[in-house]
Amino acid sequence: MRIGIIGAGHIGSTLARHFAGIGHEVVIANSRGPETLAELVDGIEGSVRAVGAGEAAWFGQVVVVSVPYGRVGELPLGELRDKVVVDTCNYSPERDGHEPDLDDDSTTSSEKVRARTHSNLVKAFNAIRWDVLRDRGRPKGAPDRLGIPLSGDDEEAVAVVAGLIRDIGFDPVNAGHLGGGGRKHQPGTDVYTAELTAHELDARLHAL
Residues spanned by the domain of 106 = 2-207
Mean pLDDT of the chain: 97
Task: Domain count for the chain, please give it.
Answer: 1
**Do 149 and 205 meet the contact criterion of CB atoms below 8 Å apart?**
yes
pLDDT tens digit sequence for 88-108: 999 999 999 999 999 999 999
To which H or E segment does residue 29 belong? Answer: strand 25-29
pLDDT in tens, 53-72: 999 999 999 999 999 999 99
What is the reported pTM? 0.96
Q: What is the CATH number of the domain that holds 53?
A: 3.40.50.720
